[in-house]
Amino acid sequence: MNHKLAIEKILEISSSLKSDTILKTCIEFLYDNFDKYSWIGIYLVKENNLILGPWKGKQATEHVKIPIGKGICGSAAKSGNTEIISDVSSDNRYLACFVSTKSEIVVPIKKDSKVIGEIDIDSNIPNAFNNKDAEFLEKIADIFAKFL
Ligand code: SME
């Protein structure tokens, strides 16, 4: 699916559901419509940690609580910047979840420029994410921020 249509669908989901089911439905929608996403989840900032929220993938991750500053997820939460990792095996911050993962993108969700959570996506394809994906997911993160 193209990014523009996906944003329209996410906005449609956001305006038609109760707030407690919006994020879960959006995450499922993204997983189901982008083949290169092999796992997608939302982490929420709670004190000094990231706590796993809604997710979809073939397997659960053991990383349900990640300290801010640790891993790719913790780095993005600390800096507030999107992280695109084209080859996870060459990044020594990487916390492995699935042996099949080759690349990853982590996009902070911000409210009033404060990081309140993030979208984390793994791909089984090397170098799966570029700046267009970052731009798209940053728009999605802005929509999600309204429901957090
Ligand atoms: N790889 C992440 C941990 C989360 S799992 O990918 C779901 C990291 O390095 O922070």
**Residue 10 pLDDT greater than 90, yes or no:** yes
The DSSP-derived string for the chain is --HHHHHHHHHHHHHHS-HHHHHHHHHHHHHHH-TT-SEEEEEEEETTEEEEEEEEESS--S-SEEETTSHHHHHHHHH---EEES-GGG-TT-----TT--EEEEEEEEETTEEEEEEEEEESSTT---HHHHHHHHHHHHHHHTT-
Best substitution site from 100, 120, 122, 123 to test ligand 1's pocket, by max atoms within 8 Å of Cβ? Answer: 120
Q: Which atom of ligand 1 lies closest to the CA of 95?
A: 9
- Classify strands 65-67 and 83-85 as parallel, antiparallel or unpaired: unpaired
* Domain boundaries of the chain, sorted by first residue: 3-145
Right CATH number for 3-145 from 3.30.413.10, 1.10.3720.10, 3.30.450.40, 3.20.20.70? 3.30.450.40
Average pLDDT taken over every residue of the chain = 96
The pLDDT tens digits for 19-33 are 779 999 999 999 999
User: Does the structure show a pLDDT above 80 at 86?
Assistant: yes
Q: What is the pLDDT of residues 47-77, one digit of tens each?
A: 999 999 999 999 999 999 999 999 999 999 9
